[in-house]
């Protein structure tokens, strides 16, 4: 087992072992198409995620948790009903202030869910004081991990994950994360030479009244409905119910005046 965490290129401990190598080979082989498309998508969200992680004094490389959790997708849903970019289950999302109603799911909001994830990761690190264990707890839950640490009397992820009662998914989770970080930060070295990075969104916020429908608003702004939905994935049905006073939404930069005109028109 070789550790290269001393290198300044990485800000989480990067251990290069057989399990990590296995995941690298998978991402280069059978999983290449999936990984490459998600790596291209990562460029859209990484600047935002890095900012919010740094605000909490967290390693920027923790952003790649979103890659292995959801592939940086707002619409990812797990078998355990975890949702969104950071795969929050309902109770944890609620604990960190993410609203979930019949018309709104802020687990799908790339800004709000990232802030919540940064807060959660910060809290986990205060408990475990290890980035490997912090990421493992993010995946399996802190209570379950604490029991295993107590049972086996070790804070070493690699020792702990070798135990028979350690969950298989989390056993693979850290090697998978490390493999993703290695490839993402040195893509050409691992054979990913012709990436087409997605550009970060350029947007601003407006307060939209209850009753606002994204399809009608997009038509007024002369943009596609799809583009406006991409900026506001937390609106589950593409509108704000009329009984709601209003909600802050994102619009493409430079469209504030047109939105104001639209709001005046629909309110008369």
Residues 83 and 37 in one domain: yes
Which tens digits make up the pLDDT trace of 186-200? Answer: 999 999 999 999 999
- Find out whether 200 and 45 touch, Cβ atoms under 8 Å: yes
Element at 251 (helix H, strand E) = strand 246-252
Which tens digits make up the pLDDT trace of 113-146? Answer: 999 999 999 999 999 999 999 999 999 999 999 9
Residues 36 and 75 in one domain: yes
Residues 165 and 231 in one domain: no
Question: Residue 233 maps to which CATH number?
Answer: 3.10.350.10
Instruction: Name which of 83, 77, 78 is nearest 105 in CA terms.
Output: 83
Residues 186 and 208 in one domain: no
Residues 180 and 215 in one domain: no
**Domain span at residue 223?**
204-267
Collapsed DSSP state (helix, strand, coil) of residue 155 = coil
Residues 157 and 59 in one domain: yes
List, by residue number, the catalytic residues.
69
pTM value is 0.94
Instruction: Judge whether 198 lies within some domain.
Output: no
Q: Give the CA angle between residues 27, 118, 236 to the nearest 5°.
A: 80
Collapsed DSSP state (helix, strand, coil) of residue 213 = strand
Whole-number pLDDT of residue 267: 72
Residues 172 and 220 in one domain: no
Question: Residue 31 maps to which CATH number?
Answer: 1.10.530.10
Give me 7's structure tokens.
Answer: 């290198």
Instruction: Judge whether 196 lies within some domain.
Output: no
Contacts of 122 (CB under 8 A, 6+ apart): 56, 57, 58
Contacts of 194 (CB under 8 A, 6+ apart): none
Residues 184 and 242 in one domain: no
Residues 36 and 107 in one domain: yes
How many domains are contained in the chain?
2
Q: How many CB atoms lie under 10 A from the CB of residue 114?
A: 22
- Find out whether 166 and 160 touch, Cβ atoms under 8 Å: yes
Residues 151 and 209 in one domain: no
Whole-number pLDDT of residue 42: 98
Which tens digits make up the pLDDT trace of 206-232? Answer: 999 999 999 999 999 999 999 999 999
Q: Which of 135, 164, 190 is the last residue of a domain?
A: 190
Residues 182 and 228 in one domain: no
Q: What is the mean pLDDT of the chain?
A: 95
Instruction: Judge whether 197 lies within some domain.
Output: no
Helices (H), 141-186: 142-152, 157-161, 168-185
**Mean pLDDT on 4-22:** 80
Q: Give the CA angle between residues 86, 78, 126 to the nearest 5°.
A: 40
Which tens digits make up the pLDDT trace of 148-159? Answer: 999 999 999 999
Q: Give the CA angle between residues 48, 200, 55 to the nearest 5°.
A: 10
């Amino acid at each position: 087992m070789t550790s290269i965490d001393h290198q300044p290129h990485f800000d989480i401990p990067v251990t290069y072992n057989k399990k990590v190598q296995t995941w690298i080979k998978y991402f280069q082989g059978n999983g290449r198409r999936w990984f490459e498309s998600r790596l291209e998508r990562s460029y859209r969200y990484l600047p935002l995620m890095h900012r919010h992680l740094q605000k909490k004094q967290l390693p920027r490389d923790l952003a790649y948790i979103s890659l292995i959790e959801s592939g940086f997708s707002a619409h990812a849903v797990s078998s355990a009903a975890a949702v969104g970019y950071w795969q929050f289950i309902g109770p944890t999302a609620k604990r960190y202030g993410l609203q979930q109603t019949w018309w709104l799911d802020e687990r799908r909001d790339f800004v709000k869910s990232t802030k919540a994830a940064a807060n959660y990761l910060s809290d986990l690190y205060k408990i475990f004081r290890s980035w490997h264990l912090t990421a493992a707890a993010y995946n399996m839950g802190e209570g379950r991990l604490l029991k295993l640490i107590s049972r086996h009397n070790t804070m070493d992820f690699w020792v702990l994950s070798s135990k028979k009662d350690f969950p298989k998914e989390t056993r693979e989770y850290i090697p998978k994360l490390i493999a993703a970080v290695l490839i993402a930060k040195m893509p050409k070295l691992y054979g990913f030479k012709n990436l087409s990075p997605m550009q970060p969104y350029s947007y601003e916020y407006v307060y939209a009244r209850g009753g606002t429908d994204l399809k009608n608003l997009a038509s007024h702004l002369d943009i596609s409905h799809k583009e406006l939905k991409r900026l506001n994935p937390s609106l589950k049905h593409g509108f704000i119910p009329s009984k709601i006073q209003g909600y802050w939404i994102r619009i493409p930069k430079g469209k504030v005046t047109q939105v104001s005109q639209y709001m005046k028109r629909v309110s008369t």
